[in-house]
Structure 1
Amino acid sequence: YTLDSPLIETSLQLAEYAKPSFTQGRSVTDTVNDLMQRIYRDFTFDPDFTTLATPLASVLEHRRGVCQDFAHLAIGCLRSQGLAARYVSGYIETLPPQGEEKLVGADASHAWFSVYIPEQGWLDFDPTNNIIPNTQHITLGWGRDYGDIAPLKGVIFGGQNHELEVSVQVECLTN
């Protein structure tokens, strides 16, 4: 998890973006938390900007993307500093605004990242929501990048103009 992967290549630009978070005397946990917060502040969630093929350099340049882009960005930044980081694929339970009912099927597939911290192990961070994942995050798997743990893979034969529609319902059964 320290080497480049098919969708995440370390670069001088990623190292430069990461650099302000890596201040002397700061713990690895605090450093990664700062990086997560900076990505949350500096980048705009824009589901129309990227596709699976959008290069990470474009996400960094335009400061927009989706959860997988933000996870890839953080991983690239961390690997550029020599840290082991991995892509996490799963689901997140979305909570409705105060006083409103939860919509059925409104939850979503989601991506975040983990960093390996000696003496502690793997710690998860969610730059899209600026939080440390908790019980609302459900991990399906880990990989070097999205390509290792895509939530859906396959081939469709025949016809034209296919469109996949998916809804997810995450519900806490215990309190």
Structure 2
Amino acid sequence: MTDQGGVLRAQTPADRPRLARLVAAALPTSSSPPISGTTTLHRGALLPRFVVHVKPVGGGQQGYGARRAAVLVLVAEPGRPPCIDPGLVAATLGLTPGESQVAVWVAEGWTVREMAVATGRTDKAIRWHLQQIYHKQGISRQADLVRLVLSLATIA
């Protein structure tokens, strides 16, 4: 995807009309309210497609090619690891720095053994941190912790 004079353009000709329709639908007009939408765009033969979300934003000028922001376009890259800030996790979930780092590592797929080696602690100490996290969050499953932490991932 490229920005040409303030207008987004899909890389491949087959994707261009779909992206243009999606962006146009998110722009306010006198005849219809703006609507959000999602599509996928081609990236290359061996790569998964980009997921593109388009949402209207207030205060933009009407018309495609407007000079002020009228829509928000968020591009998700499947397979890209999430960017998770342990400080944000600690502040949001009320965790200690050590607990938040363990929570982030769990969300990133680390094993208890890998965390223990990385911190110079025992498996038992890492499991204790996990129990503290579960207790503080009122959860009992690792999947719930992963979902919670991933919901705090930042846009990179």
Q: Which has the larger radius of gyration?
A: 2
Band the TM-score falls in, shorter-chain normalisation: under 0.3
Of structures 1 and 2, the one with the larger relative CO (CA 8 A, separation 6+) is 1
Give the TM-score taking structure 2 as reference length: 0.27
Give the TM-score taking structure 1 as reference length: 0.25
